[in-house]
């Protein structure tokens, strides 16, 4: 059974060793004991590669490795980070080649596969639920909004940047685009919108009946419903999962109510919505599975 090292980059780094579909040993993290929402924001790209190499080298010391999978938020294709609005220092980096070279200098030789972080979660969900042949879609709700799908198909799939409103005042997206889903739902975007309240306070005050906050929380759910409805109209109904560090803001019944106003054609009504508690293991597993699959091609 193939051995892989999976690495997930979000607002921090998590790495682990996989034997087939099983994580073995402890996960390694950077920073080790921090809940900093932006722990990597100021780390230059080359330092980030060195940090990744540190974790991978430590895990590789435990035995031979067949493949290394790295998942990164943003557009990642053919080993290149084409864009990463929430980790802009990575833009343009040939992350797979760079990491391969740094690892080789440390005596770790294995193919490196880089992919999108939300795609990795979709791969992990599909693998752990035994639905590797079924279309699996995942929304990750964090600082940015990620959209992942399994099986992987060539494309950009930047679902977080899908346009969900024509209001020209909606311009809080990290990428600079107007009317984007992430400009409404993203953590950073919410902080820019509510300069006087943290996002947690917005949701708490909405529950207590504050009119301004309730209006926004409704918009937040309608935006996600609109984006999900668009993907149902493009690729069909099926399974949608919601996860990420801010998935606690999501109320599924509210989302479903809005979605039902947006999707009306009878062949499209067979969709399911499920919240997955955020965990590093699923994404790690997906990064490893994606690397193993890339190896098999």
Q: Which residues bind Zn ion (CB under 5 A)?
A: 161, 173, 175, 177, 180
| Residue (131 or 163) nearer to Zn ion, CB | 163
| Residue (6 or 160) nearer to Zn ion, CB | 160
In angstroms, what is the minimal distance from the CB of 88 to Zn ion? 13
| Cβ neighbours around 273 below 10 Å, total | 17
| Residue (119 or 182) nearer to Zn ion, CB | 182
The Cα 32–Cα 13 span in angstroms is 9
In angstroms, what is the minimal distance from the CB of 82 to Zn ion? 14
Beta-carbon-side half-sphere exposure of residue 286 (alpha carbons within 13 Å): 32
| Residue (5 or 173) nearer to Zn ion, CB | 173
The Cα 103–Cα 54 span in angstroms is 9
In angstroms, what is the minimal distance from the CB of 182 to Zn ion? 5
179 beta partners: none
In angstroms, what is the minimal distance from the CB of 173 to Zn ion? 3
| Residue (20 or 177) nearer to Zn ion, CB | 177
The Cα 129–Cα 80 span in angstroms is 30
In angstroms, what is the minimal distance from the CB of 85 to Zn ion? 7
In angstroms, what is the minimal distance from the CB of 163 to Zn ion? 9
Structure-block tokens of residue 265:
């054609």
| Residue (12 or 161) nearer to Zn ion, CB | 161
């Amino acid at each position: 059974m193939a051995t892989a090292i999976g690495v997930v980059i979000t607002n921090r780094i998590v790495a682990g060793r996989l034997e087939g579909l099983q994580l073995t040993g402890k996960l390694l993290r950077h920073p080790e004991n921090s809940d900093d929402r932006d722990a990597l924001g100021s780390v230059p790209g080359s330092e980030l590669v060195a940090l990744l190499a540190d974790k991978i080298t430590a895990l590789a010391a435990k035995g031979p490795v067949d493949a290394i999978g790295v998942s990164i938020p943003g557009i990642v294709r053919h080993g290149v980070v084409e864009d990463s609005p929430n980790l802009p220092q990575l833009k343009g980096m040939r992350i797979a080649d760079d990491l391969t070279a740094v690892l080789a200098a440390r005596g770790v030789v294995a193919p490196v596969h880089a992919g999108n972080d939300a795609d990795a979660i979709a791969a992990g969900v599909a693998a752990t639920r035994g639905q590797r042949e079924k279309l699996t879609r995942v929304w990750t709700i964090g600082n940015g909004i990620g959209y992942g799908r399994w099986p992987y198909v060539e494309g950009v799939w930047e679902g977080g940047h899908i346009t969900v409103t024509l209001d020209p005042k909606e311009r809080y997206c990290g990428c600079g685009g107007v009317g984007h889903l992430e400009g409404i739902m993203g953590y950073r975007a919410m902080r820019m919108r509510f300069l006087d309240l943290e996002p947690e306070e917005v949701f708490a005050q909405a529950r207590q009946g504050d009119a301004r906050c309730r209006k926004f929380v409704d918009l937040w759910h309608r935006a996600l419903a609109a984006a999900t409805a668009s993907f149902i109209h493009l690729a069909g109904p099926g399974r949608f999962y919601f996860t990420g560090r801010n998935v606690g803001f999501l109320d599924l019944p509210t989302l479903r109510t809005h979605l039902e106003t947006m999707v009306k054609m009878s062949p499209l009504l067979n969709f399911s919505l499920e919240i997955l508690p955020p965990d590093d293991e699923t994404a790690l597993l997906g990064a490893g599975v994606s690397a193993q699959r890339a190896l098999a091609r």
